[in-house]
């Protein structure tokens, strides 16, 4: 259909190669670095030839970092566990609260529903610190300071609007006629919701849940402000890591690889859902 000259094809190829190198290289480099000892990392000029070792991962997972002078204990696995607890907990709560609300917004245009939906959406755009800084003081007064429950509640700030808006779009796309028919057949409202609406909206719920999980996992500022060391997820834990003395560079790299691997794996596994969710969340609503 289109005529492309050989020159154009070559230029296109070069441009695409540059794009792939720019976006993939940092990840590749950090993975390579995590497989090296300090000696090979510090070689100059840097070289791709080295004997890969898993000792960095071993050290991170066991929590015993043997440095030049002393053994350092590090609780990176604790950070990883915190990330899992906070992300899974937040997404579960957001689905529990968000899916019924999304259904209500999609099916019933009740008084004030648009205003409420917008208010919820606008949370997405308010500066997070505006809420977080007063919360540090309030949480201390009501005893939620440094608890998983307090953190999971605050994480709703990112998870809930996402779920509401994506899932609402899906419910709106389902024709209400099927639900009518099912109800005329004598089924209760709840049965209709469970057996008709929920299964039909499942792709949307999956996309929204996946995105919410990734955003929760990647969040940094909530836990930086509200969590102390034993509740911190990987994003905050890794920062403390990089400034600690006595840690080897390869071990830092291994910790970063372990921290980004779950979201990258999820992204690759479910990329179709993800692209759909991203463009729905941002364009379609």
Partner 1 sequence: MTAATDPPGQRRKGVTISRKLLPYLLSMPALLVCIGILIPFFTAVWYSLQHYRLSQPWNRGMNWGENYLNFLTDADFWNTLQISLLYAGLTVVLELILGLGIALLLQKRTRMNNLISIMLLMPLMTAPALAALMFKLMTNSNFGILNYFAQVLGFENMRWASSPDTALLTVILVDIWVYTPFIMILLLAGLRSLPTQPFEAAALDGVPRIQQFWRITLPMLMPYVLTAALFRLLDSIQQFDIIYAMTQGGPGDNLMVFQVEAYLNFFQSTNVGRSAALLIILWAITFVLSNIFIKNWLRLRERTRPEG
In this complex, which beta carbon is closest to partner 1, that of residue 61 or of residue 144? 144
In this complex, which beta carbon is closest to partner 1, that of residue 45 or of residue 70? 45
3-state secondary structure (DSSP) of residue 2 = coil
C-alpha dist (Å) from residue 158 to 128, 214, 264, 274: 10, 11, 19, 16
Quote the least distance from Cβ 89 to partner 1, whole Å: 13
Cα–Cα distance for residue pair 156/149, rounded to 1 Å = 11
Quote the least distance from Cβ 169 to partner 1, whole Å: 8
In this complex, which beta carbon is closest to partner 1, that of residue 71 or of residue 273? 273
Scored b (16 or more CB within 10 A) or e, 178-190 reads: ebeebeeeebeee
Q: Is 44 exposed, middle or buried (0-12, 13-18, 19+ CB in 10 A)?
A: exposed
Quote the least distance from Cβ 198 to partner 1, whole Å: 13
Q: Is 130 exposed, middle or buried (0-12, 13-18, 19+ CB in 10 A)?
A: exposed
In this complex, which beta carbon is closest to partner 1, that of residue 18 or of residue 54? 18
Quote the least distance from Cβ 130 to partner 1, whole Å: 4
């Amino acid at each position: 259909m289109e005529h492309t000259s050989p020159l154009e094809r070559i230029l296109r190829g070069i441009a695409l190669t540059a794009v792939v190198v720019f976006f993939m290289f940092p990840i590749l480099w950090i993975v390579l670095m995590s497989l090296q000892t300090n000696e090979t990392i510090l070689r100059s000029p840097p070289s791709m030839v080295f004997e890969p070792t898993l000792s960095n991962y071993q050290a991170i997972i066991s929590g015993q970092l043997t440095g030049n002078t002393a053994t350092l204990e590090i609780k990176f696995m604790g950070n990883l566990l915190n990330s899992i607890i906070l992300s899974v907990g937040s997404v579960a709560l957001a689905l529990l609260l968000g899916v019924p609300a999304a259904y209500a917004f999609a099916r019933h245009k009740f008084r004030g529903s648009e205003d409420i939906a917008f208010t919820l959406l606008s949370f997405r755009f308010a500066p997070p610190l505006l809420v977080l800084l007063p919360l540090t003081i309030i949480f201390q007064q009501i005893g939620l300071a440094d608890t998983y429950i307090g953190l999971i509640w605050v994480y709703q700030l990112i998870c809930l609007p996402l779920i509401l808006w994506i899932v609402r779009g899906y419910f709106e796309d389902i024709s209400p006629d099927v639900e009518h028919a099912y109800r005329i057949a004598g089924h209760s409202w709840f049965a209709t919701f469970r057996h008709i609406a929920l299964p039909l909206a499942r792709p949307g719920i999956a996309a929204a849940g996946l995105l919410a999980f990734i955003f929760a996992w990647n969040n940094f500022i909530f836990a930086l402000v509200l969590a102390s060391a034993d509740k911190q997820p990987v994003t905050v834990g890794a920062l403390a890591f990089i400034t600690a003395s006595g840690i080897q560079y390869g071990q830092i790299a291994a910790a970063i690889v372990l921290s980004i691997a779950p979201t990258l794996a999820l992204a690759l596994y479910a990329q179709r859902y993800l692209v759909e969710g991203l463009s729905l969340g941002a364009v379609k609503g």
